Chain A
Amino acid sequence: MLDNLIRDKGREGRRGFTLPRFDVEQANLEKILPKESLRKEKPKLAEVDEPTVIRHYTNLSRKNWGIDTNFYPLGSCTMKHNPRANEAAAAVPGFAGIHPLQPESQVQGALQVAYEAQDLLSEISGFPAVSLQPMAGAQGELTSILMVKKFFEDAGDEERTTVLVPSTAHGTNPATATMAGFGSKEIGLDEDGCVDVEELRAMVDETTAALMITNPNTCGVYEKNIEEIAGILHEAGAFLYMDGANMNANVGRMRPAEAGVDVMHYNLHKTFSTPHGGGGPGCGAIACSDALAPFRPDPVAERDGEHYRLVRPEKSIGRVSSFHGNFGVFLRAWNYIKMHGLELKENTDMAVLNANYVRARLRGTYRIPYDGLCKHEVVVQPPKGKKALDVAKGLIDHGYHPPTIYFPLVVKEAMLIEPTETESKETLDDFIGTMLELAESSSEDLQEAPTSAPTRRLDEARAARQLKARW
Chain B
Amino acid sequence: MARFTPHTDDDIREMLEAIGVESLDDLFADVSPKLEGELNLPPALSEYEALSDVHRLAAKNVAGLPIFLGAGAYDRITPTAVGAITSRGEFLTSYTPYQPEISQGTLQTIFEFQSVISELTGLEISNASVYDGASAVAEAALMTARQTKRDPKVAVSAGLNPRYREVIETYRVEVVELSHNNGTTDFSEVPGDVSGVFVQSPNYFGVVEDVSAASEAAHAVGALAVAVCDPISLAVLEAPGNLGADVAVGEAQPLGMPLLFGGPYAGYMATREEFIRQLPGRITGETVDQDGKLAYVLTLRAREQDIRRARANSNICTNQALTALAATVYASLMGPEGLREVAELSISKAHYLADKLREAGFELRYPDAPFLWEFAVELPDVGRAKEALLENGMIGGLDLGDGAMLVAVTEKRTKEELDAFVEVVADAG
Interface residues of A in 287-326 (CB under 8 A from B): 297-298, 317-326
* B179 lies within 8 A of chain A by Cβ: no
Shortest distance in angstroms between A152's beta carbon and chain B's nearest beta carbon?
Answer: 13
Instruction: Write the chain B residue with the least CB distance to A450.
Output: B101
Say yes or no: A107 contacts B61, CB within 8 Å.
yes
Instruction: Write the chain B residue with the least CB distance to A253.
Output: B28
* B15 lies within 8 A of chain A by Cβ: yes
How long is the Cα–Cα vector from A91 to B266 in the complex, in angstroms? 18
* B337 lies within 8 A of chain A by Cβ: yes
* A67 lies within 8 A of chain B by Cβ: yes
Say yes or no: B131 contacts A457, CB within 8 Å.
no
How long is the Cα–Cα vector from A328 to B273 in the complex, in angstroms? 34
Say yes or no: B101 contacts A97, CB within 8 Å.
no
How long is the Cα–Cα vector from A366 to B334 in the complex, in angstroms? 52
**Given the contacts A373-B30, A455-B289, A469-B284, A175 and B263 also touching, CB distance less than 8 Å:** no
Say yes or no: A252 contacts B131, CB within 8 Å.
no
Interface segment among A197-205, A234-242, A352-360, A438-446: the answer is A352-360
Instruction: Write the chain B residue with the least CB distance to A44.
Output: B119
Nearest 8 A/B pairs, CB to CB: A94-B58, A323-B262, A277-B322, A68-B89, A100-B262, A64-B105, A278-B321, A281-B264
How long is the Cα–Cα vector from A166 to B411 in the complex, in angstroms? 53
- Extra pairs beyond A175-B315, A254-B32, A281-B264 (10, CB < 8 Å): A7-B115, A34-B208, A39-B237, A135-B264, A338-B45, A345-B39, A373-B28, A407-B306, A467-B300, A469-B126
Which interface residue of A64, A109, A224 has the most chain B CB atoms within 10 A? A64
Say yes or no: B89 contacts A66, CB within 8 Å.
yes
| Residues in B whose Cβ lies below 8 Å from that of A178 | 310-312, 315
How long is the Cα–Cα vector from A276 to B126 in the complex, in angstroms? 22
| Residues in B whose Cβ lies below 8 Å from that of A65 | 90, 94, 102-103
| Residues in B whose Cβ lies below 8 Å from that of A433 | none
Shortest distance in angstroms between A256's beta carbon and chain B's nearest beta carbon?
Answer: 10
How long is the Cα–Cα vector from A91 to B72 in the complex, in angstroms? 21
Say yes or no: A174 contacts B309, CB within 8 Å.
yes
Say yes or no: A353 contacts B12, CB within 8 Å.
yes
| Residues in B whose Cβ lies below 8 Å from that of A347 | 2, 4-5
Say yes or no: B62 contacts A106, CB within 8 Å.
yes
Shortest distance in angstroms between B113's beta carbon and chain A's nearest beta carbon?
Answer: 10
- Mark each residue of chain B from 294 to 338: 1 if its CB lies under 8 Å from any CB of chain A, else 0: 110101111011111111101111111111010011011111111
Say yes or no: A279 contacts B106, CB within 8 Å.
yes
Shortest distance in angstroms between B395's beta carbon and chain A's nearest beta carbon?
Answer: 6
How long is the Cα–Cα vector from A183 to B72 in the complex, in angstroms? 35
Say yes or no: A344 contacts B41, CB within 8 Å.
yes
Say yes or no: A135 contacts B263, CB within 8 Å.
yes
Say yes or no: A469 contacts B299, CB within 8 Å.
yes
Pick from B33, B92, B352: contact of A66, CB under 8 Å: B92
How long is the Cα–Cα vector from A180 to B315 in the complex, in angstroms? 10
How long is the Cα–Cα vector from A450 to B314 in the complex, in angstroms? 33
Say yes or no: B58 contacts A17, CB within 8 Å.
no
Pick from B64, B79, B322, B411: contact of A280, CB under 8 Å: B322
Interface segment among B48-56, B188-196, B216-224, B358-366: the answer is B48-56
| Residues in B whose Cβ lies below 8 Å from that of A63 | 102-105, 108
Shortest distance in angstroms between A397's beta carbon and chain B's nearest beta carbon?
Answer: 10
Interface residues of A in 146-178 (CB under 8 A from B): 146, 170-172, 174-178
How long is the Cα–Cα vector from A455 to B294 in the complex, in angstroms? 9
**Given the contacts A65-B102, A322-B163, A222 and B39 also touching, CB distance less than 8 Å:** no
- Mark each residue of chain A from 253 to 287: 1 if its CB lies under 8 Å from any CB of chain B, else 0: 11100110000000000000001111111100000
Say yes or no: A455 contacts B50, CB within 8 Å.
no
Say yes or no: A44 contacts B336, CB within 8 Å.
yes
| Residues in A whose Cβ lies below 8 Å from that of B286 | 463, 468-469
6 A-B pairs within 8 Å (CB atoms) are namely A45-B332, A109-B61, A174-B305, A278-B95, A318-B167, A359-B19
Instruction: Write the chain A residue with the least CB distance to B242.
Output: A40
Instruction: Write the chain A residue with the least CB distance to B260.
Output: A328
| Residues in B whose Cβ lies below 8 Å from that of A464 | 285, 299-302
| Residues in B whose Cβ lies below 8 Å from that of A3 | 293-294
Say yes or no: B295 contacts A455, CB within 8 Å.
yes
**Given the contacts A43-B120, A53-B329, A277-B91, A322 and B164 also touching, CB distance less than 8 Å:** yes
Say yes or no: A58 contacts B88, CB within 8 Å.
yes
Interface residues of B in 99-136 (CB under 8 A from A): 99-106, 108-109, 111-112, 114-116, 118-120, 124-126, 128-129, 131-135
Say yes or no: B31 contacts A396, CB within 8 Å.
no
Interface residues on B, range: 35 or more
Pick from A60, A67, A123, A352: contact of B108, CB under 8 Å: A60
Instruction: Write the chain A residue with the least CB distance to B8.
Output: A425
Say yes or no: B287 contacts A459, CB within 8 Å.
yes
- Mark each residue of chain B from 18 to 47: 1 if its CB lies under 8 Å from any CB of chain A, else 0: 111100100111111111001111111111
| Residues in A whose Cβ lies below 8 Å from that of B414 | 20, 23
* B180 lies within 8 A of chain A by Cβ: no
| Residues in A whose Cβ lies below 8 Å from that of B345 | 19-20, 22
- Mark each residue of chain A from 405 to 431: 1 if its CB lies under 8 Å from any CB of chain B, else 0: 001000000000000011111000000
Say yes or no: B35 contacts A254, CB within 8 Å.
yes
Say yes or no: B61 contacts A110, CB within 8 Å.
yes
* B398 lies within 8 A of chain A by Cβ: yes
Pick from B84, B90, B342: contact of A64, CB under 8 Å: B90
* B347 lies within 8 A of chain A by Cβ: yes
| Residues in B whose Cβ lies below 8 Å from that of A454 | 101-102, 104
Say yes or no: A171 contacts B370, CB within 8 Å.
no
How long is the Cα–Cα vector from A23 to B5 in the complex, in angstroms? 54
- Mark each residue of chain A from 87 to 106: 1 if its CB lies under 8 Å from any CB of chain B, else 0: 11111111111111111001
How long is the Cα–Cα vector from A23 to B345 in the complex, in angstroms? 9
| Residues in B whose Cβ lies below 8 Å from that of A323 | 72-73, 132, 163, 261-263
* B60 lies within 8 A of chain A by Cβ: yes
Say yes or no: A85 contacts B300, CB within 8 Å.
no
Say yes or no: B64 contacts A97, CB within 8 Å.
yes
How long is the Cα–Cα vector from A17 to B316 in the complex, in angstroms? 35
* B69 lies within 8 A of chain A by Cβ: yes
Pick from A5, A40, A175, A393: contact of B115, CB under 8 Å: A5
* B428 lies within 8 A of chain A by Cβ: no
Pick from B7, B79, B299: contact of A350, CB under 8 Å: B7
| Residues in A whose Cβ lies below 8 Å from that of B128 | 279
Say yes or no: B348 contacts A26, CB within 8 Å.
yes
Say yes or no: A360 contacts B79, CB within 8 Å.
no
Say yes or no: B58 contacts A92, CB within 8 Å.
yes
Say yes or no: B306 contacts A346, CB within 8 Å.
no
Say yes or no: B322 contacts A281, CB within 8 Å.
yes
| Residues in B whose Cβ lies below 8 Å from that of A32 | 347, 351, 370
- Mark each residue of chain A from 19 to 38: 1 if its CB lies under 8 Å from any CB of chain B, else 0: 11011111101001110111
